[in-house]
């Protein structure tokens, strides 16, 4: 991003680009937990003023990915072990609603899109591409949340929980200890249940995926 780009891009879009870049860096582990990230340094990095940077950091703070300490600065947040179960429960709840809603308005192209994403996940798993697999995992669940409702409310809720979930997964290296192809197959089970319009089965398959991914025991029969 150069100064010419910065002049041409509206401030709101510039802030969003900075937010997306920083969010990816944080969840991918480019910043260590507790590391200080300053507005001036970021403004220099993105060749912009501190205003868009401040707006991006505010959004990250709302997601729990950074924390601002008065008179000290902004720091990358970590995930405590005791938070993992809570994050798993929250993600299961939000994605359960999304699955229920998308099934209620399901279109043939939705199933096709989700299956295509699973097929791409299988190819990435075969290559051992963990980073690519994570992005496809995110794409899969984001699609469901996006298509579940015409409003952005559900998607915003999911994005908040997803950020902390990915932090927890990255911090624990859980993906490195899993059969990557099985991750793709778990998503395929979700797609098949959605295609059958079986809400209960789809939510259960999703809960099992989250439990295995987050390292939490799956509680069958959990309220849906």
Q: Where does 3-76 sit in CATH, by number? A: 1.10.10.10
Task: Read off the pTM.
Answer: 0.76
Sign for the pseudo-dihedral over CA of 15, 17, 20, 22: negative
Q: Which CATH number fits domain 81-214: 1.20.120.530, 3.40.50.300, 1.10.1840.10, 3.40.50.740?
A: 1.20.120.530
Q: Which of 190, 156, 137, 153 is nearest to 27 (CA)?
A: 137
Mean pLDDT across the chain, nearest whole number?
87
User: Is a pLDDT exceeding 50 seen at residue 122?
Assistant: yes
The whole-number pLDDT of residue 168 equals: 81
Please say whether the beta carbons of 162 and 141 come within 8 A. Answer: yes
Q: Tell me the pLDDT tens digit for each residue of 67-118.
A: 999 989 999 988 887 888 899 999 999 999 999 999 999 999 999 999 999 9
User: Is a pLDDT exceeding 50 seen at residue 5?
Assistant: no
What is the mean pLDDT of the segment spanning 183-194? 97
Q: In the chain, where are the structural domains located?
A: 3-76, 81-214
The whole-number pLDDT of residue 173 equals: 67
User: Is a pLDDT exceeding 90 seen at residue 12?
Assistant: no
């Amino acid at each position: 991003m150069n100064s010419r780009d910065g002049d041409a891009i509206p401030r709101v879009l510039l802030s969003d680009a900075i937010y997306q870049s920083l969010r990816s860096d944080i969840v991918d582990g480019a910043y260590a937990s507790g590391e200080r990230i300053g507005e001036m340094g970021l403004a220099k990095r993105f060749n912009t003023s501190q205003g868009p940077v401040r707006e991006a950091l505010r959004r990250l703070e709302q997601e729990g990915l950074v924390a601002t300490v008065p008179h000290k600065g902004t720091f990358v947040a970590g995930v405590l072990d005791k938070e993992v179960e809570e994050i798993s429960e929250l993600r299961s709840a939000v994605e359960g609603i999304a699955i229920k809603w998308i099934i209620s308005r399901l279109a043939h192209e939705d199933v096709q899109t989700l299956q295509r994403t699973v097929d791409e996940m299988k190819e990435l798993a075969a290559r051992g591409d963990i980073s690519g697999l994570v992005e496809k995992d995110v794409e899969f669940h984001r699609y469901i949340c996006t298509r579940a409702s015409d409003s952005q409310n559900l998607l915003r809720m999911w994005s908040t929980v997803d950020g902390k979930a990915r932090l927890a997964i990255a911090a624990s290296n859980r993906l490195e200890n899993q059969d990557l192809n099985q991750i793709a197959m778990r998503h395929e089970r979700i797609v098949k249940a959605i295609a059958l319009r079986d809400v209960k089965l789809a939510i259960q398959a999703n809960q099992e995926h989250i439990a295995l991914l987050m390292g939490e025991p799956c509680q069958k029969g959990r309220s849906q």
